Amino acid sequence: MATATRTFTDGEAASLRDRIAANPRPAAAWIAVAGVLFALEAGALAQFLSALLADAVSVLPGVAVPGAVLALERAADAVPTLLSRETIPNRGYYDGSGYVGTFLGLSPDLAWLLRVALIYAYSFVSLAWLWVGYERYRTHYRIADWTPRDDVVDRFREHKWGLFGVAVVVMFFVLVLFAPALSPTTTAANLANPYQHDVTYWTGDGTQTVTVGQANLGSQSQGTSQENVGPMQYDDYGRIHPFGTLPSGKDLFTFIAHGSRISLVVGLVSVGLSVSVAIVLALLTAYYRGKVDLGAVLVSDAVMGMPQLLLLIMLSVILSGTWIGQIYSGAFVLALIFAGTGWPAMWRSFRGPALQVSNREWVDAAKSFGQTPGTIMRKHMLPYITGYVLVYGSMTLGGAIIAIAGLSFLGLGVNPPTPEWGRAVNAGQDYVTTASWHISLIPGILITLVVTGFNALGDGVRDAIDPESDAEDQGSASGRGGGA
């Protein structure tokens, strides 16, 4: 790897700020481009975060949504976004000579495909620019010419299975973040309040306007060729449906795009909580051992001995009518249950590496210098298990997503009518062998693909961290052997 000339030959104590000040051009160019990329789609991030905040506040018991939160949400909606439904509209109608209301007069399907392609192109360009930033830091500002992390990164770049996981996970995160822009319609019009919104279409003799709810009733997919709107088909009202429609006539893509947010929020919260508990317990039990370790083993055995599915069903039903069960449409309860039952397995995964590092010479040296237990665990033990956290965290996140979908399929967990992937699978289970096969098959394929992507990412990180895993021994980047 080529390295740039560094100003601080004796400046190993020089801060990163000093190194950037001595050679500002690479950092300034990168920051300028990053700022432009962020500004182009800042509205999408602001709208996503403000919507999450408003949803969380709205369900608190006895608390009305503060005016400040509503003002923040309106301000977020006003932030300009380049790639949006307003900029590249796909809603319009054919008037006999051309399309009216769509972007550049394109047909609705082409306008939608163009917007989707631009959003994903923007996302992958932004991801590539983050990698450029890392390369510039490594080349121009890092003091060391080489660190062990370089080998980890280089091994991961050659791990085809792991790169497949990165691609899938990035596409899933883009779907979550840009759900409103990617959807051919809005949740308010198509899912939440269809009878309060109108759709204009061409009848052949002129235009006619009906409510979205009436249009949905005429666009139902219920298993027959006469009652079915499949993938990339138009309904009788000139609306394009990229994934077809549900039995209720609502747009399946819009349902799936916004349902992905529920899956990700529950997965991140549950995995974040369980990982936090597992890390703290792993460090404490590895450092103190003895009775502390024994107590953690007994508690974890007791938790793992409980039937998780039965506990999920019972608590979901009991708490469904309470204020906590209404937070984010019941998703918060699911996250707490997953975290409360998932930390023992996570702790056992971290416990072994933590015990190994607790016996290393540098830990004994830190003790002899009088460092506090908290400092030793944070500075000398935690960095050693960080890689294991990434591996098991990514794999557990995929498991949480499929568990959420399974509960929604059973009619539990996330409260209807909030969109969730498992509920779409449930809605189409009676039409699997009919013309409306798309209702269950498409969300089922997406669930499988996303879970596989998170597992592939975890495998890639594991094999990159542990070069002596079976995957490396066999010369196959997609091997399953050897654990971190």
- Per-residue pLDDT of 174-203, as tens digits, reads 999 899 899 999 888 888 889 999 998 888
Answer yes or no: is 427 within a domain: yes
Domains contained in the chain, number: 3
> Are 218 and 304 in a shared domain?
no
Answer yes or no: is 5 within a domain: no
Helices (H) and strands (E) counted in the chain, each on its own, are 21, 6
Can you tell me which residue has the tokens 């399974």?
Answer: 406
Per-residue pLDDT for 19 more than 50?
yes
Strands 99-100 and 93-94: antiparallel
Given a contact cutoff of 8 angstroms between Cβ atoms, the answer to whether 229 and 241 are in contact is yes
> Are 113 and 222 in a shared domain?
no
The mean per-residue pLDDT over the stretch 72-88 comes to 80
Per-residue pLDDT for 313 more than 50?
yes
The pLDDT of residue 441 is 93
The pLDDT of residue 119 is 94
> Are 362 and 431 in a shared domain?
yes
Answer yes or no: is 263 within a domain: yes
- Measured between alpha carbons, how far is 352 from 325 in angstroms, rounded to an integer? 36
Answer yes or no: is 403 within a domain: yes
Answer yes or no: is 2 within a domain: no
Helix (H, G, I), strand (E, B) or coil at 214: helix
What's the pLDDT band for 169 if we cut at 50, 70, 90?
Answer: very high
The pLDDT of residue 246 is 94
Per-residue pLDDT for 480 more than 60?
no
Per-residue pLDDT for 3 more than 70?
no
- Measured between alpha carbons, how far is 218 from 210 in angstroms, rounded to an integer? 11
Per-residue pLDDT for 23 more than 60?
yes
> Are 285 and 428 in a shared domain?
yes
Answer yes or no: is 167 within a domain: no
The pLDDT of residue 417 is 75
Residue of 283, 460, 445, 441 whose CA lies nearest to 375: 283
pLDDT tens-digit map of 32-73: 999 999 988 888 888 878 877 776 666 565 566 677 777 877
Structural domain range at position 122: 16-92+104-148
The pLDDT of residue 447 is 92
Residue of 221, 219, 248, 224 whose CA lies nearest to 235: 219
CATH code of the domain in which 331 resides: 1.10.3720.10
Percent of the chain surpassing pLDDT 70:
90
The mean per-residue pLDDT over the stretch 392-415 comes to 82
Per-residue pLDDT for 15 more than 90?
no
Residue of 387, 390, 383, 391 whose CA lies nearest to 363: 383
> Are 283 and 355 in a shared domain?
yes
**Average pLDDT for the chain:** 84
The mean per-residue pLDDT over the stretch 448-453 comes to 92
Can you tell me which residue has the tokens 């509205």?
Answer: 43
Given a contact cutoff of 8 angstroms between Cβ atoms, the answer to whether 8 and 141 are in contact is no
Can you tell me which residue has the tokens 């984010």?
Answer: 328
> Are 202 and 315 in a shared domain?
no
pTM above 0.75, yes or no: yes
> Are 278 and 333 in a shared domain?
yes
Given a contact cutoff of 8 angstroms between Cβ atoms, the answer to whether 482 and 470 are in contact is yes
> Are 289 and 432 in a shared domain?
yes
What's the pLDDT band for 478 if we cut at 50, 70, 90?
Answer: very low
The pLDDT of residue 14 is 72
pLDDT tens-digit map of 196-238: 999 988 888 888 999 999 999 999 999 888 899 999 999 999 8
- Nearest-5° Cα angle at 395, 393 to 397: 70
The pLDDT of residue 323 is 72
**Between 252-288 and 382-409, two packed helices, what is the crossing angle to 10 degrees?**
140
Helix (H, G, I), strand (E, B) or coil at 12: coil
> Are 382 and 275 in a shared domain?
yes
Backbone dihedral angles phi then psi of residue 199, each to the nearest 5 degrees: -135, 135
What's the pLDDT band for 261 if we cut at 50, 70, 90?
Answer: confident
> Are 230 and 281 in a shared domain?
no
Cβ within 8 Å of residue 120, ≥6 positions away: 171, 174
Answer yes or no: is 165 within a domain: no
The pLDDT of residue 59 is 58
**Helix H segments across 41-159?**
42-58, 67-78, 108-136, 148-157
**Residue 371 structure tokens:** 């460092």
> Are 219 and 85 in a shared domain?
no
Answer yes or no: is 460 within a domain: no
What is the H or E stretch that residue 203 is in? none
The pLDDT of residue 192 is 81
Lowest mean pLDDT among 11-15, 332-336, 431-435: 11-15
The pLDDT of residue 12 is 46
The mean per-residue pLDDT over the stretch 130-159 comes to 88
Q: What is the DSSP letter of 378?
A: I
> Residue 96 — left, alpha, or beta (φ > 0 → left; ψ -120 to 50 → alpha)?
left
The pLDDT of residue 474 is 44
Percent of the chain surpassing pLDDT 90:
33
> Are 401 and 420 in a shared domain?
yes
The mean per-residue pLDDT over the stretch 95-103 comes to 87
